[in-house]
């Protein structure tokens, strides 16, 4: 039997994957599970986006252009302009989700064994994309005590080698919910200019900024036009995770030309979803106002409830819809499994994502979990109560 | 300014990309272009597939499972059974087009600098996927005189090194239109067993087999269950190129488990398109009968017309909807550009794909073009007449 590749062997499993059989068993046993573990929002997709596909009349579901249709890219550029980001449609390549945009970025700027520095905890799939691309992630630990703010810039600088090609941030962050300030972006900008690196920013949660904070994009920072690469996606903005439409944005023409070659090889992004995404750009502001209000309410409820539990430490998120929570336990992997296997209140239990999968440094975050507040407030209250009661028993 | 990667620099451009500005100029000049250069069929998508999306009622466009929805995979397995391919839904991972299936296959079985042997001319984007994956293509030349039949198996064997991990075929072939016989597949099966290699078969044109020939899949060949990896796609079968849905199929459990990790990193294939693809499986046989009849008619027309031109050599295709044609010229790149820039009959000209882009060996196939017969017969007759008249002038 021929062997699989070392790369294939090294590809990480999803951090919640190993919990799935326990969840399936719990459901078979008749339990109800509150899913705090996934980033699939329960928010409705804008009707205008769904209708665009419903009302479509076409005879042939044809390829679009590899870089995405021109009309869509022009509208994306308009959307960015409203967000104080000045780009033209030529600076944009439409991709199959933010995932593909990140793969194109890695492929365009990094060769085998090159390094990208990422503050951790970070979106777990960055591990998969880096392994698939044959590159290495060099983590900088950010701390729950600081709400996962940007680590001191000297911590980044210490890690820069001749292999370092880029710094990658997720802003606001999954799993941290931390929104970087303009000052933090400027510190990173100085660093990438000084060391001639790329600055990749995954800004798919741009709209999800709370408490009056304003999102500041790497594309707004003057002087790093050739360094900045923005990753974007319609998945969370319009609750269209299944569309698989994102984009890669940069004013660096060589980066765009290079990424376009990767795009040409895979022919085109999905046509139906691109049409829905183009229509989604007409979503009225009232939709976002309602969504933000809902998420702020959920976050406040969640944090309130969590802070009532003794020994729990929470990083208060000011963006996205995740938070990292430190529990008074030793091993969140075991606790998460135990919740599904051995605990319930009136037949209800909770599924959480152990946070260790969001760290690249071994043995960090072992007592932390990530909670996605993609459930309504009532469910969140019940779910946190289950965690609270579970901890009492688990710790005895 | 930070540099792009060596990999990014090495990514090939689409072989017709450099002709696009000349085509755009020709259109601006008011010329009509017969596009023989692209694989986008003019055949209608089955209404049942389009209706499935039109009649969809969903509130949230959610992620599907990373491996594709279970109902869809079960139906795909049924479809294969009808094609005498015995697999279960667990042997299938739904991908974003055949492109992604091939990327997952390369990633799962090959590491940097590993080698895959491919008979050339081959689908040009294999070059892009191999560069993106950091692996090397080792070509075996197949000949227009043999209709691009499988080269002698000793030619493959000569090229096998410790780096060789797989043999890749496209059956029936793009750009050759050659359908491999059962005997040819068996020769390859013996070879991969002897040298413990994978055999990847891109079978996206399975239905397009003419003149009573029957497609024989690598998945039908006993004894190579652990070696065979099939790449498939809905793009050509249902004229749904813009769906971006394909799949990777293998009975090798380790391959499937490994490919699944790549699939998990990018979360899910596109949801709308997956729904359309599931419905497309209900397409009646009459649709395919009509499509095959149409393509056979086109092929016969095309070959007939081409054979009337002095000095033209044609490999008669018995599958897919491409053929490679040798012209009495030195350089098809130049001729293709000249057709767009300097030639027309009553304002009409032709765009063809120079075949050199489908070879990996330098300076082979320079006088060949690929023709996709994705136009109706009347247009094909006009297009070939333009080539005929053009050659008279070009060669003087």
Q: What would the DSSP string read from start to end of B211-241?
A: TT-----GGGSTT-TTTEEEEEESTTTTT-T
pLDDT attached to residue A396: 84
What is the phi/psi pair of residue A231, to 5°? -105, 130
Shortest alpha-carbon distance between residue A269 and chain B (Å): 7
Q: What pLDDT does residue B150 have?
A: 98
**How confident is the model at residue B17, as a pLDDT?**
77
Measured distance CA(B102)–CA(B91) in Å, rounded: 15
- Res A308: pLDDT: 94
> Taking a contact as any Cβ pair under 8 Å apart, which residues of chain B between 111 and 130 contact chain A?
111-112, 114, 125, 127-129
**A355-371 pLDDT, tens per residue?**
999 999 999 999 999 99
Q: A–B: how many Cβ contacts below 8 A?
A: 264
Beta carbons of B273 and A272 less than 8 Å apart: yes
Query: What is the number of other CB atoms lying within 10 angstroms of the CB of residue B337?
Result: 18
For residue B38, what pLDDT is reported? 84
The stretches in chain B having pLDDT less than 50 are none
Q: Residue A391's closest CA among A375, A376, A369?
A: A369
Please give the Cα distance from A96 to A242 (Å, whole number). Answer: 10
Q: What is the pLDDT of residue A18?
A: 81
Cβ separation of B100 and A54 shorter than 8 Å? no
Q: Which residue, among A335, A370, A312, A277, has the nearest Cα to A69 in the 3D structure?
A: A277
Is the CB of B35 inside 8 Å of chain A's CB atoms? Answer: no
Number of H helices, E strands in chain A: 13, 13
Nearest residue of A to residue B65, measured between CA atoms: A242
Per the DSSP assignment, residues forming a β-bridge with B64 are: none
Write the Ramachandran bin of B322: left for phi over 0, alpha for psi from -120 to 50, otherwise beta: beta
Phi then psi dihedrals of residue A168, to 5 deg:
-120, 130
The segments of chain A whose pLDDT lies below 70 read none
State both tokens at B261.
């990790």
CB-based contact, B242 to chain A, within 8 Å: yes
Contact across the interface for B241 and A267, Cβ inside 8 Å? yes
Nearest-CA residue of chain A relative to B56?
A54
Minimum CA–CA partner of B128 in chain A: A265
Which value, to the nearest 10 degrees, does the dihedral of the CA atoms of residues A183, A184, A190, A195 take? 180
Cβ separation B243–A197 shorter than 8 A: no
CB within 8 Å: B252 and A227: no
B223 and chain A: CB distance < 8 Å anywhere?
no
Dihedral over Cα of B7, A104, B247, A19: its sign: positive
| Range B5-9 contact pairs with CB under 8 angstroms and sequence separation of 24 or more | B5/A107, B5/A108, B5/A109, B5/A110, B5/A111, B5/A114, B5/A165, B5/A258, B6/A111, B7/A107, B7/A110, B7/A111, B7/B131, B7/B132, B7/B134, B8/A107, B8/A108, B8/A109, B8/A258, B8/A259, B8/A261, B8/A262, B9/A258
In the structure, how many helices (H) and strands (E) does chain B have? 13, 13
Residue A183 burial (C-beta neighbours within 10 Å; 0-12, 13-18, 19+)? exposed
Q: Mutation test of the interface with chain B: which of A1, A6, A8, choosing the one with the most B Cβ atoms within 10 A?
A: A8
Give the best residue of B7, B61, B96 to mutate against chain A (max A CB count within 10 A): B61
B69-89 pLDDT tens trace:
999 999 999 999 999 999 999
For B189-248, write each residue's pLDDT tens digit: 999 999 999 999 999 999 999 999 999 999 999 999 999 999 999 999 999 999 999 999
Residue in chain B nearest A7 by alpha carbon: B111
A242 CB near a chain B CB, below 8 Å? Answer: yes
Average pLDDT, chain A: 96
**What is the greatest pairwise CA distance in chain A?**
65
d(CA B247, CA B269): 10
Secondary structure letter of residue A345 according to DSSP = B
Backbone φ and ψ for B369, nearest 5 degrees, come out as -130, 155
The partner residue sitting opposite B107, judged by closest CB among A2, A5, A109, is A5
Which ranges of chain B does DSSP label H, i.e. alpha helix?
6-10, 20-28, 47-54, 70-82, 97-109, 125-133, 153-159, 182-195, 253-265, 271-280, 285-307, 332-342, 377-394
B206 touches B83 (CB < 8 A): yes
Asked whether B93 and B142 are in contact (CB, 8 A), the reply is no
Torsion of CA B300, B303, B307, B311, to 10 degrees: -170
Query: A114 and B5 in contact (C-beta within 8 Å)?
Result: yes
Chain A residue nearest residue B39, CA to CA: A63
**Which 8-state DSSP code applies to residue A357?**
G
Strand partners, A202: A170, A231
Q: Which of B51, B267, B268 to mutate to test the interface with A (most CBs of A within 10 A)?
A: B267
Which chain A residues are within 8 Å of B258, Cβ to Cβ? 4-5, 8-9, 11
Query: Do residues A252 and A229 touch, judged by C-beta distance below 8 A?
Result: yes
Q: Is the peptide bond before B119 cis (omega within 30 degrees of 0)?
A: no
B283 CB within 8 Å of a chain A CB? no
- E-state strands within chain A: 32-35, 92-95, 115-120, 136-141, 164-170, 198-202, 228-233, 246-249, 313-314, 322-326, 348-351, 353-354, 368-372
Look at residue B154 and give its three-state secondary structure: helix
Interface residue B165 vs chain A (CB under 8 A): yes
Side-chain-facing half-sphere of A13: CA atoms under 13 Å: 7
Identify any residues that bridge with A136 across adjacent strands, giving them in sequence order: A115
Q: CA distances (Å), A84 to each of A19, A215, A359, in order?
A: 42, 10, 32
Task: Please tell me the distance in Å from A310's CA to the nearest CA on chain B.
Answer: 35
Q: How far is CA B29 from CA A4, A95, B335, B338, B353, in A?
A: 53, 32, 19, 14, 21
CA trace torsion B74, B76, B80, B82 (10° rounding): 80
Query: Is B60 in contact with A41 (Cβ distance < 8 A)?
Result: yes
Question: Rounded to whole angstroms, how far apart are CA atoms A341 and A343?
Answer: 6
Interchain proximity B198–A2, CB inside 8 Å:
yes
B331 touches chain A (CB under 8 A): no
Q: What is the largest CA-CA distance in chain B?
A: 65
Residue A274: closest C-alpha in chain B: B242
- In B, minimum Cα distance to A132 occurs at B107
User: In the numeric block, which tokens belong to residue A29?
Assistant: 């046993």
- State how far the Cα of A171 lies from the Cα of A319, in Å rounded to an integer: 8
What whole-number distance in Å separates Cα of residue B41 and Cα of residue B342? 27
Q: How far apart are CA A350 and CA A384, in angstroms?
A: 8
Nearby residues of A169 by Cβ (< 8 Å), 6 or more positions away: A118, A119, A180, A188, A199, A200, A201, A202, A218
- A window 53-82, beta carbon within 8 A of B: 53-54, 56, 58-64, 66
Nearest Cα of chain B lies from the Cα of A122 at a distance, in angstroms, of 14
Note whether B9 contacts A: Cβ–Cβ < 8 A.
yes
* Whether A49 and B41 lie within 8 Å, measured CB to CB: no
CA–CA separation, B5 vs A291, rounded Å?
40
Tell me the β-bridge partners of A35.
A351
pLDDT of res. A58: 93
Question: In angstroms, rounded to a whole number, what is the distance separating the alpha carbons of residues B191 and B153?
Answer: 8
For the beta sheet containing A313-314, the strands, ordered from the edge strand earlier in sequence to the opposite edge, are: A313-314, A322-326, A368-372, A353-354
Does B108 contact chain A (CB < 8 Å)?
Answer: yes
Cis peptide before A145 (omega within 30 of 0): no
User: Nearest residue of A to residue B4 by CA position?
Assistant: A109
Q: B11, A261: Cβ pair inside 8 Å?
A: yes
Q: Bridge partners of B168?
A: B200
pLDDT in tens, A27-64: 999 999 999 998 788 899 999 999 999 999 999 999 99
> Which residues neighbour A98 within 8 Å (Cβ) at sequence distance 6 or greater?
A202, A204, A231, A232, A233, A235, A246
Inter-residue contact B121 to B324 (CB < 8 Å): yes
């Amino acid at each position: 039997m021929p062997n699989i590749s070392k790369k294939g062997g090294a590809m990480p499993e999803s951090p919640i994957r190993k919990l799935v059989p326990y969840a399936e068993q719990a459901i078979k046993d008749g339990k109800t599970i509150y899913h705090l573990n996934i980033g699939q929002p329960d928010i409705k997709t804008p009707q205008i986006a769904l209708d665009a596909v419903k009302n479509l009349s076409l005879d042939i579901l044809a390829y679009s252009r590899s870089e995405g249709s021109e009309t869509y890219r022009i509208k994306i550029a308009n959307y960015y302009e409203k967000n104080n980001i000045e780009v033209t449609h030529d600076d944009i390549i439409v991709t199959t989700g933010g995932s593909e945009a990140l793969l194109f970025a890695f492929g365009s700027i990094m060769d085998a064994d090159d390094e990208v520095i990422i503050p951790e905890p970070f979106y777990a799939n960055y591990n998969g994309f880096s392994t698939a691309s044959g590159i290495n992630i060099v983590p900088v630990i950010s701390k729950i005590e600081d709400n996962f703010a940007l680590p001191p810039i000297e911590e980044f600088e210490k890690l820069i080698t001749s292999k370092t090609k880029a710094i990658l941030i997720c802003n606001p962050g999954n799993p941290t919910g931390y929104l970087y300030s303009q000052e933090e972006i400027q510190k990173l900008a100085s660093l990438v200019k000084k060391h001639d690196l790329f600055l990749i920013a995954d800004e798919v949660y741009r709209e999800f900024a709370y408490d009056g904070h304003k999102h500041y994009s790497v594309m707004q920072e003057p002087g790093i036009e050739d360094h900045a690469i923005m990753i974007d996606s319609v998945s969370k903005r319009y609750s269209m995770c299944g569309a698989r439409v994102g984009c890669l944005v940069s004013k660096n023409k060589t980066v765009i030309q290079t990424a376009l070659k990767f795009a040409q090889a895979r022919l085109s992004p999905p046509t139906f979803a691109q049409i829905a995404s183009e229509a989604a750009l007409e979503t009225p502001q009232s939709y976002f106002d309602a969504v933000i209000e809902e998420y702020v309410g959920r976050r406040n409820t969640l944090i309130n409830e969590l802070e009532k539990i003794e020994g729990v430490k929470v990083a208060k998120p000011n963006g996205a819809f995740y938070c990292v929570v430190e529990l008074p336990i030793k091993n969140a992997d075991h606790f998460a499994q135990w919740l599904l296997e051995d605990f319930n209140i009136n037949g209800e239990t909770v599924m959480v994502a152990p946070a260790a999968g969001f760290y690249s440094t071994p043995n960090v975050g072992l007592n932390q979990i990530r909670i996605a507040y993609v459930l309504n407030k009532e469910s969140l209250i019940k779910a946190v109560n289950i965690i609270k009661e579970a901890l009492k028993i688990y710790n005895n």
